[in-house]
Structure 1
Amino acid sequence: MSAILSVARDRGVVWAAPGRVNLIGEHTDYNDGYVLPFAIPQRCVVTATPLPQGRWIATSDSATDPVSFDATDLTPGEPAGWGAYVAGVVWALREAGYDVPGARLTISSDLPVGAGLSSSAALACAVLGALVDLGQIPLAPAHWPRLAQQVENAYVGMPCGIMDQSAVTLCREGHALFLDCRTLASSHVPLDLAGAGLTLLVVDTRAPHRLVSGEYAARRATCAAAAAELGVSALRDVGLAAVDRLGSEVMRRRVRHVVTENERVLECVRLLRAGGAAGIGPLLTASHESLRDDYEVTVPELDVAVAAALAAGAYGARMTGGGFGGCVLALVDTDRADEVGAAVTDAFATHGFAAPHVFPATPARGATRLG
């Protein structure tokens, strides 16, 4: 180890990982499909300083009590809450055969928890970056998404796909990440909205997630069952003609969403690469309608936000994230962003909902070392 790296390890390291907004491609990742997320400036920051080997202590600015554990405490699901993501990273690295340094981890974040902006993936990837850096672990960033997904799937118990971890790790400033969730091949698609006079507004509905873990798992199980009935490894491999071959109406609707959503992602990428950012609006709206009617993962707050944004002049709008609460994304003219945001806020007041938080989303870079 060089003298510079030795000093860095002794003093500690600081890593940041952003949240993400998924422009389009919802519930396609665990069906081996296509997604198009981008990172946002809001992020989780982790400072890691050395502790004796085999001991980890984590504190968070959003929690009053620290989390501490040693190697003998690494049991999937423990500790509960945010600490499981920290322990899960240590567990996953050790399961992969790496020597993980003991560390004191100080965590801060300006990402809203539960808003569907991947605060959990940001936490896991920021901790991962800090521990890999602190311990000089030979794990290239290209392999971080898979390991971070393992944290959520096998340790935390959330059966998510790999989109969030990929976006949080790999995104480039000013671009969206076009990801093939089967091969993990990716490319960066220019998302120069400002140059086109456009803004992507994020509407955090602040609606509490309802039944999200159980319903998410149910959607995933239905898709797997449909793929088995159709004789394919994943729904990525079928077209719309396959829908009528399914005996269950629920399966037909779920598969129709996945198939058409993959098509929308590909068309969105084509339009963006051709410089037609304004033209993606109808694709966003069609995605929301599919998620509402065929995949059944919206809630009233999401539907009201989309309807109000469209009525106020948005080119398109859709829920983003897993659904059952969370955020809406609206594509608007920059000079009308405040007007659209006010219209959504007024609609929420009319329906008796809590006031939403509306802010512009700027494509940012993925996980990075700060110091």
Structure 2
Amino acid sequence: MASTDKALRLFEDSYGTGTARKLLSVHAPGRSEIAGNHTDHEGGHVIAGALDVAIDGVAAANGTASTVRVASEGHGSFEIDLSSTAPVEAEKVSTAALVRGMADALTKAGKRVSGFDVAFTSTVPSGGGLSSSAAMEAALGRAMEALWEGDVAPVSPIGLAKMSQRTENEWFGKPCGLMDQASVCLGGLAHMGFADAENPTAEKLALDFEDFGYSLCLVDVGCDHAPFTADYAAVPVEMQQVATEFGKKRLCEVDEAAFDEALPALREKLGDRACLRAVHYYYEDDLVERRWAALRAGDIDSFLALTRASGASSAMYLQNVSTAGAFQPAMYALGLAERILCGKGAVRIHGGGFGGSIQAFVPTDMVETFAGRMNGWLGDGSARKYQICEEGACATWL
């Protein structure tokens, strides 16, 4: 409620209080990838959790045909005309692109564009690997769904996630799988499978890591993903180059035994890194299934051991922790975290990698020490404890 009140104050400061309008509250959480590093875009499995940080907004119709005005705390405001919802090259990597892309998706679903005003506040760290863009997409989608007319069925969480992913890929200009958006839209802790891209599977589990003596901590490494966009984009490209050699689109469609048999030829044609990234996919996808089984059984020790194995695979085989050269913010943060934990709990790269954040499962009696030392090295606010939040992207009339 405090977040809604803050967004309401920004709405009133931005658009005034003189006209009585029906107000809509929208909410979309950030997310943490719990397991499945770069497996989603290859049709594999992931575990993800919605977090207790979110984008919250207040919106209302403004009486125009297609003008949308957006105010964001700390990021100023802008206005966009949705008489056309086609991608605009100059809007790439901007919130305006997200507005236009989600508008295109909702109109294709049967909604009719009309103008509205919206004010957003956020507790999701921007560029910290917690999917602030996916949260913004979902919040916009739920706002448009509620504000716009059109006799269409409610959009399901997975349906909204697919709209959001398309927006991120084609309008925003960032290649990504469906995990971020699905987690944000579903809420809670969920195991997801993407072998059927049109109909991904999802199973939720009510679980609090602190019941097992560990806290989920994320550490902002002090560098967002932007400098590493090309490195990030190369990961799915190289994995899919391997799949293409078998006449397939994604690695989930390639038989592991056939992959093993073809490795010498694949190495000759595609090089070592593409082969290693495919090795990571098969290894990590299996680790996801084993970690989910461990969580369902309440076996936290097995979960942590498998999480450490996942972190090693990402660093050695997927190679999304650091690039060549002296600038290695994620690897630096991992090294510092390991220095504090000394083998306790688990640490790994989080999400896309290279920049963003790292993840740590920290014994609860060490959280204060862990956060204090990491913040001392990386800056105040870099490290904090998070909890899984059950509520996914939603909209409610005030």
1:134-283 alignment runs, 5 A limit: 134-135=147-148, 137=150, 138=152, 139-142=154-157, 143-172=159-188, 176-183=189-196, 184-209=200-225, 211-237=227-253, 238-239=255-256, 242-243=259-260, 245=262, 246-247=266-267, 248-283=271-306
Q: How far apart are the structure 2 equivalents of 1:118 and 1:226?
A: 28
> 1:146 offset after TM fit, Å?
0.7
In the alignment, does 2:144 pair up with 1:121?
Answer: no
Asked if 2 retains the 8 angstrom alpha-carbon contact of 1:244 and 1:252, the reply is: no
SS in 2 for 1:292: helix
Q: Residue type matched to 2:216 in 1?
A: L
Match of 1:337 in 2: 367
> 1:132 offset after TM fit, Å?
0.3
Q: How far apart are the structure 1 equivalents of 2:186 and 2:161?
A: 8
Match of 2:345 in 1: 315
How many residues end up aligned between the 2 structures?
A: 355
1:288 maps to which of 287, 293, 311: 311
| Overall identity of the aligned pairs, in % | 25
Q: How far apart are the structure 1 equivalents of 2:87 and 2:330?
A: 36
2:34 maps to which of 23, 39, 42: 23
Q: How far apart are the structure 1 equivalents of 2:203 and 2:85?
A: 39
Match of 1:100 in 2: 113
TM-score, normalised on structure 2? 0.83
SS in 2 for 1:360: strand
Higher mean C-alpha displacement, 41-50 vs 224-233: 224-233
Q: Residue type matched to 1:308 in 2?
A: L
Match of 1:3 in 2: none
Asked if 2 retains the 8 angstrom alpha-carbon contact of 1:283 and 1:316, the reply is: no
SS in 2 for 1:161: coil
Q: How far apart are the structure 2 equivalents of 1:231 and 1:180?
A: 22
SS in 2 for 1:116: coil
SS in 2 for 1:297: coil
* 1:202/1:85 CA distance change after superposition, 3 Å: same
Match of 1:366 in 2: 392
Q: Residue type matched to 2:134 in 1?
A: A
Q: Residue type matched to 2:288 in 1?
A: V
Asked if 2 retains the 8 angstrom alpha-carbon contact of 1:85 and 1:124, the reply is: yes
User: Could you report, residue by residue, the CA deviation over 1:284-318 in whole angstroms, capped at 9, with x for unpaired residues?
Assistant: 22222222221221133322332333343331111
Higher mean C-alpha displacement, 336-345 vs 217-226: 336-345
